[in-house]
Structure 1
Amino acid sequence: MRHRHGIKSVDKCLRDYISPIDPNRSSRPFGGITVVFGGDYRQTLPVIPKASQGETVGSTLNRSKLWDFCEVFTLRQNMRLYSGNSDERNKIIAEFAKWQLAIGDGKVHRITENPKDDGLVDFEIPEQFIICGTDNSIQSLFDITYPDFLSNMSSYCYLRSRAILTPTNSLVDDINDFMIEKIPGKTHTYFSQDSIDDNGGEDNDFDTAFPVEYLNLINMPCLPKYELQIKVGCTMMLMQNLNQILGLCNGTRMIVTACKKNSVECEILCGSNVGSKHLIPRIDMVPTDTKWPFEFKRTQFPLQLYFAMTINKSQGKFLDTVGLYLPRSVFSHGQLYVVVSRVTSPEGLHILILDDTGCYSNVTSNVVYEEVFYNLPKLDDI
């Protein structure tokens, strides 16, 4: 979801463009041009580092003055869930859809009171979705999410229809490192070239204060890792827009077909360009919003392993099988709803929860900022 300030900037630009043509339209929202917005306020809100609940809610579009000029249309049918072949099956799907909406609206039955009123609610997950495995929790999740992995790893339909989701990038790295060990074959390791540009004159003190070894340790969600390990047959996700016409967009899922010295050959797994092969080169990647006092540049393949990904990154995906790994609870509005609404059937959802002692549990937390729904129309039950 976009920050309301970004939408306001588009509004101002369109008014400026249209004013020389028709001065009367400069006072109308977006210069009198019809603009269509799409989104779900049950899903995650704009990401603002270290923001409070009020700042996050205040960044949404329905807190903007432009919201008064918007006409809201609501969708009432869950298009991800496949219809059943019998009345009993359709009843199960309808109940699952209502449970999804209850999580998204924060209406689940809480088992503990929350005096802080920060949107955090503890509740029980139905036993049908819970994984209770062995001492190796990641292995248990892998066995259920990727059954008969070695026999099916050549099936593109198998690979693109399932994923493991978890709240943080550190957990994603742990799972992906575990998964790549399961793939037979040689591991190809690619190292990035990291550099900085302090723009501070000839002395260049930043080179001394921040050596290359330190830059190699920097990990950001928007950048590939310094040490990228790839095997032929592993699934990857593209992290940058390279060529939208050819389907090489941020978030595109691909499978590695060859590892070359200066490029990685990948085949697209989904979308209108499924089956097409492309050579992915190293590119310069510069994060725009960082805490560092210098301009950091990483030259690396814009790829990351796709077996596991963060909950926020999974928005917009359709998956037949989802494994949710929760060694700690979700921490942001809508994250749990995003997970349970990715699957196409109730049987495709599997949740592994660990409590503070590391034991398996069926209790987790749901975070919903109810005030974000205050000026939205109420939906009838599905």
Structure 2
Amino acid sequence: MRLKTNLVNPIELENLKTFDKWLLDIGEGRDVVEDESYIQILEDLKIDEHTSHEEAIMNAVFPDLSTQINNIDYMRERERARAILTPKNETIHRLNDYITQSLPTDGKTYFSLDCTCKAAGISNDDEILYPTEFLNSMMCSDMPKHELHMKIGIPIMLLRNLNQYDGLCNGNKLIITHLEKWSIQAVIITGSNIRDIITIPRIIMSKADMKWPFRLRRRQLPMTVSFCMTINKSQGQSLKTVGLYMKHQVFTHGQLYVAQSRVTSRQGIKILLALQQDEPTETLTNIVFKEVFN
């Protein structure tokens, strides 16, 4: 509905109607093959694999990245926004690290300071039960990694609300302009404070997880590299180009629809299947609980 108001070309309008129907079929679980959980991947949406999976998806979504890395307009929102989407965090960290390491700009690695929260009623034997090496290895969905590889020019996403007035909110994107010893300098590329230059320090974050009998306390830069993000994290965003990197199948209701409806045209979607050998190679799982429509 939002896009149709700006279209006057009848050919573009007809293409958009076809795109609308295709997305609604995915969202409502129609047009399936074999059973009600698989959809066929159209040939024009697939990414040709002449290199490794990581390089193929990077070149499809971020062409000429090495030469455009310092161009703010290349990464900014609205008409040029682009991202790689994938279902799971483990794939995101691996792919973000791969893209970051492939860039020729200056870089720096930031290590976190991890411990258990003493105010959580834990015994004094924490240091023996949960050594630093174990705490460093923990990966949480809403916390930065222990080891952050940062380079000038790369896009990052904030993981905490720091200052709403200055546009430093959870989910906002920035581009790194300078690397300090304990902080980074960046320019905002989303929200109401676009092009403002700010400094982000390390802060203390804590995480309670029912799987562990302790609360993790981590001091680190509250950010993550954002070439790639989870499908769930992309909700609410409008992107020009989306590369759907399927190392794993989607695992919850409507997830595939969310991923493919981030773009404003069918030409903006590219899909790379990198599934396990025993999984389908031409179809994607589409989980839809039709009871929610009743």
| TM-score using structure 2 length | 0.92
Q: Are 1:204 and 2:120 matched, yes or no?
A: no
> Shift of the alpha carbon at 1:319?
0.7
- Name the structure 2 match of 1:110: 32
Cα distance, 1:334–1:359 mapped onto 2, change above 3 Å? closer
| Cα distance between partner residues in 2 of 1:231 and 1:262 | 14
> Shift of the alpha carbon at 1:318?
1.2
| Cα distance between partner residues in 2 of 1:346 and 1:139 | 22
Structure 1 residues 230-288: Cα deviation after superposition (integer angstroms, max 9, x where no partner): 01111100000000111100000000011101211111012210000111011111124
| Cα distance between partner residues in 2 of 1:276 and 1:269 | 8
Q: Which has the higher Rg, Structure 1 or Structure 2?
A: 1
Would you say the 8 A contact 2:209–2:215 is kept in 1? no
Would you say the 8 A contact 2:120–2:215 is kept in 1? no
| Cα distance between partner residues in 1 of 2:239 and 2:4 | 10
| Cα distance between partner residues in 2 of 1:235 and 1:84 | 31
Structure 2 counterpart of 1:294, from 210, 214, 234:
214
Would you say the 8 A contact 2:29–2:288 is kept in 1? yes
> Shift of the alpha carbon at 1:203?
6.0
> Shift of the alpha carbon at 1:213?
1.2
Would you say the 8 A contact 2:144–2:221 is kept in 1? yes
Structure 1 residues 299-357: Cα deviation after superposition (integer angstroms, max 9, x where no partner): 00001000001000111111100000012211111111111111112111111113432
| Cα distance between partner residues in 1 of 2:15 and 2:46 | 17
- Name the structure 2 match of 1:339: 259
- Secondary structure, aligned partner of 2:50: coil
- Name the structure 2 match of 1:354: 274
Cα distance, 1:178–1:203 mapped onto 2, change above 3 Å? closer
Structure 2 counterpart of 1:156, from 72, 79, 94:
72
Would you say the 8 A contact 1:80–1:342 is kept in 2? no
Would you say the 8 A contact 2:155–2:227 is kept in 1? yes
- Name the structure 1 match of 2:228: 308
Structure 1 counterpart of 2:19, from 82, 86, 96:
96
| Cα distance between partner residues in 1 of 2:122 and 2:238 | 52
Look up the equivalent residue of 1:111 and give its one-letter code: V
Q: Are 1:253 and 2:176 matched, yes or no?
A: no
- Name the structure 2 match of 1:237: 157
Cα distance, 1:201–1:244 mapped onto 2, change above 3 Å? closer
Aligned-residue sequence identity (percent) comes to 38
> Shift of the alpha carbon at 1:134?
2.1
Structure with greater strand share of residues: 2
| Cα distance between partner residues in 2 of 1:82 and 1:328 | 36
> Shift of the alpha carbon at 1:290?
3.8
Q: Are 1:134 and 2:50 matched, yes or no?
A: yes
Would you say the 8 A contact 2:177–2:187 is kept in 1? yes
Look up the equivalent residue of 1:274 and give its one-letter code: I
> Shift of the alpha carbon at 1:101?
1.3
- Secondary structure, aligned partner of 2:104: coil
Look up the equivalent residue of 2:159 and give its one-letter code: M
Structure 2 counterpart of 1:145, from 28, 49, 61:
61
| Cα distance between partner residues in 2 of 1:232 and 1:94 | 41
Look up the equivalent residue of 2:112 and give its one-letter code: S
Cα distance, 1:355–1:242 mapped onto 2, change above 3 Å? closer
| Cα distance between partner residues in 2 of 1:274 and 1:236 | 14
Cα distance, 1:369–1:273 mapped onto 2, change above 3 Å? same
- Secondary structure, aligned partner of 2:33: coil
| Cα distance between partner residues in 2 of 1:188 and 1:290 | 34
Look up the equivalent residue of 1:357 and give its one-letter code: Q
Cα distance, 1:222–1:290 mapped onto 2, change above 3 Å? farther
- 5 Å-filtered alignment, 1:175-214, equals 175-198=95-118, 204-214=124-134
| Cα distance between partner residues in 2 of 1:146 and 1:271 | 22
| Cα distance between partner residues in 2 of 1:309 and 1:93 | 26
Structure 1 counterpart of 2:182, from 259, 262, 266:
262
> Shift of the alpha carbon at 1:177?
1.0
Q: What is the CA RMSD across the aligned residues, in angstroms?
A: 2.1
Would you say the 8 A contact 2:157–2:172 is kept in 1? yes
Look up the equivalent residue of 2:33 and give its one-letter code: I
Cα distance, 1:134–1:82 mapped onto 2, change above 3 Å? farther
- Name the structure 1 match of 2:144: 224
Structure 1 residues 15-58: Cα deviation after superposition (integer angstroms, max 9, x where no partner): xxxxxxxxxxxxxxxxxxxxxxxxxxxxxxxxxxxxxxxxxxxx
- Name the structure 2 match of 1:122: 38
**What stretches of structure 2 of length at least 5 have no aligned partner?**
none
Look up the equivalent residue of 2:218 and give its one-letter code: R
> Shift of the alpha carbon at 1:202?
9.6
